[in-house]
Amino acid sequence: MLLKLKFYQSLLSLFFLFALAQAQEAPQTLLGETIPCETPEPIGCNILGSKLEGEHVIRNNAEYQVLIEERSPHPNCVTYQLPPIDFTEHTLIGYISSVGGCDFPTVTHQINKLNENYEVKIHLTQNGLCERNNSFDIWCLVPRIPTQTRVNFEIETSVNSYY
């Protein structure tokens, strides 16, 4: 009986040492680096909503031109051209959405590079409980992100009901 107990103690110690060694070998997750977000010239004449709503990682001019395929019917938009962007140097990251509330939402955002991938963190606060629909868009011009690199969006929402 005593021999059996010592065997299990030894086995448990060995398992513990193995688990400790494995934990030390696991790659460490880096907090990452915050990527500066340059606000581009305003993008006008697009109709917020419809197929444009959601996440955008625009790496070339063809993807960029999609933003004005559905133009506003306003007379000034007939000949509107998007502001020029050098896609050999930059990537345009954007998010288009809408939220209820009595006023436009409060939106904050940050872009982080984690190892070889990027994470776009967006926090939006609905201001009030009105049923009105408030469209908004966020655009960031960042240093060029290679095509094979993943860009993940993390959207967090909250409601300021005391607005």
- What pLDDT does 46 receive? 80
The pair phi, psi for residue 30, each rounded to 5°, is: -85, 150
Task: Considering only residues 51 and 36, tell me which one the structure prediction assigns the higher pLDDT.
Answer: 36
Angle 120-122-128 from CA coordinates, rounded to 5°:
170
What percent of the chain is predicted at pLDDT more than 70? 79
Task: For residue range 99-151, list pLDDT tens digits in order.
Answer: 999 999 999 999 999 999 999 999 999 999 998 889 899 999 999 999 999 99
DSSP alpha helices (H): ranges in the chain? 2-25, 61-65
Compare 51 and 62 and report the one with higher pLDDT. 62
- Entry pTM: 0.77
Pairwise CA distance, residues 143 & 93, whole Å: 10
The predicted pLDDT at position 48 comes to 64
Q: What is the pLDDT of residue 49?
A: 61
Q: Which two tokens stand for residue 92?
A: 């345009």
Query: Quick check: 93 pLDDT over 70?
Result: yes
138-158 as b/e: b if 16+ CB within 10 A: bbbbbeebeeeeebebeeeee
Give one word for 72, left, alpha or beta, with left for phi > 0 and alpha for psi -120 to 50.
beta
If one counts every other C-beta atom within 10 angstroms of the C-beta of residue 113, the result is 18
Supply the mean pLDDT for the chain: 83
pLDDT at 9 over 60: no
Identify the three-state secondary structure at position 26: coil
